[in-house]
Amino acid sequence: MNLFEKDKTYIAGTYNRFPVAIASGKGSLLFGEDGREYIDLTSGIGVTAFGIADEKWQAAVIEQVGKVQHTSNLFYTAPCADLAELLCRKTGMKKIFFSNSGAEANECAVKAARKYAADKYGAERFTVVSMKNSFHGRTLTTLSATGQDHYHELYNPLTPGFASVAASAAGLDELAVLHLKTPVAAVMIECIQGEGGVLPLDPDFIRALAAWCKQNDALLIVDEVQTGNGRTGKLYAYMNYGIEPDVVTTAKGLAGGLPLGATLLGEKVKDVFGFGDHGSTFGGNPVACAAALSILSRIDDDLLDGVKRKGDFLRATFTGAKGIEGVTGMGLLLGLKTTKPAPEVLAACRDRGVLCLTAKDKVRLIPALNIPDELLAKAAQVIKDVCAE
């Protein structure tokens, strides 16, 4: 059996993979099992923040693997505490709960909201309101938080206590009406809906939601799983709007390619969890935390300026280009509305050595934060050519 056949035979059929087998990579280049070379504008869906086999990241991982790879959360380890301190220092949040994925980070946020609301207002205040067209993960609870019906249909009954409202000014009215019927414990947003098609929420709407939450003592949970860790040109996307979330969740790029989720707890919820209230065997694993320390400590103003500059370059390249009807997103999380169907654009780009993703009907570009300018320019030209044909 070749690799494709073996995978199809033995792996559960949940992924419609591209016909490419990756053997290795370096920076923003990926090398196929067949020897082909690709410019990577996917970064493992925003995970390999500094590309493949980044030397400092690799050294940090190898050093920690050589010391201790896992201890359980019954013991203290330095990388875990150091990373929590760095996250708090860079955001002003107060405490961190570590897990292994975006869904788990969101699961923890929902638990924090439910516990905060129940402790303060009683058991009938539990509803978590998300936005229509949002994406918050694949566990049953985070699917319930996800405001897209097609993700729900297969898995009823879902976790109760969720509702979704329009991700626009109309959503504020819906929220107010809902709050009268079923008190709202928390509102959960992505500043840019990534899986939903790289759709930024209106900044005024984001600020109005934040104000509503403050007024009503509902927690504002910002899901930064995709938008976080430098992706939009700020450390976290919410920092573009001058808001102060109560809970921030992140994962994907945080550890640069190792599984790590983090739920950042603000002043209101910093002490919401006591001993035994939540936990994770692997969460805060020292290797993943050492990897994240290497990434997070290097997301500085220089790097963020580079993300903005590279994003502006892509925007300028694609705006008004033939076959490209619009550009959405921020920094290095961009969506292209193309005249040709996005999957056709992806396939043609792949044939010419450039890997991109889709998000709904868009072509999604989400390269490593440090992709070299020449590679980015080369890849952008390929996309432009493909769209124009």
Ligand X SMILES: *Cc1c(COP(=O)(O)O)cnc(C)c1O
Residues that bind ligand X (CB under 6 A): 101-103, 106, 135-137, 190, 194-195, 223, 225-226, 251-252
Please provide the DSSP assignment of 318-378 as one string.
Answer: HTT-TTEEEEEEETTEEEEEESS-HHHHHHHHHHTTEE-EEETTEEEE---TT--HHHHHH
Q: Find the shortest distance in angstroms from Cβ 172 to ligand X.
A: 21
Place of tokens 């107010």: 176
Q: Find the shortest distance in angstroms from Cβ 200 to ligand X.
A: 13
Q: Find the shortest distance in angstroms from Cβ 263 to ligand X.
A: 12
253 φψ region: left (φ > 0), alpha (ψ -120 to 50), beta (else) = alpha
Q: Find the shortest distance in angstroms from Cβ 324 to ligand X.
A: 24
Q: Find the shortest distance in angstroms from Cβ 45 to ligand X.
A: 7
Q: Find the shortest distance in angstroms from Cβ 223 to ligand X.
A: 5
Would you say 54 or 224 has its CB closer to ligand X? 224
Six token digits for residue 141 = 């609870």
d(CA 19, CA 9): 15
Q: Find the shortest distance in angstroms from Cβ 357 to ligand X.
A: 12
Would you say 292 or 386 has its CB closer to ligand X? 292
Six token digits for residue 312 = 């502006």
Would you say 100 or 382 has its CB closer to ligand X? 100
In this structure, what is the dihedral angle of CA atoms 166, 172, 178, 179, given to the nearest 10 degrees? 140
Q: Find the shortest distance in angstroms from Cβ 190 to ligand X.
A: 5
Contact 284, 293 (CB under 8 A): no
d(CA 117, CA 112): 9
Would you say 31 or 282 has its CB closer to ligand X? 282
List the alpha helices (DSSP H) in the chain. Answer: 3-10, 43-46, 55-67, 78-91, 102-121, 140-145, 149-152, 169-181, 203-216, 286-296, 301-318, 342-351, 373-388
Within the chain, what is the greatest distance between any pair of CA atoms?
A: 61
* DSSP helix/strand/coil, 256: coil
Would you say 54 or 223 has its CB closer to ligand X? 223
Would you say 125 or 137 has its CB closer to ligand X? 137
Would you say 48 or 387 has its CB closer to ligand X? 48
d(CA 332, CA 300): 16
CA angle 50, 56, 58 (to 5 degrees): 85
Six token digits for residue 289 = 């935390």
Would you say 44 or 306 has its CB closer to ligand X? 44
Judged on CB neighbours under 10 Å (0-12, 13-18, 19+), 17 is: exposed
Nearest residue to ligand X by CB is 102
Q: Find the shortest distance in angstroms from Cβ 240 to ligand X.
A: 16
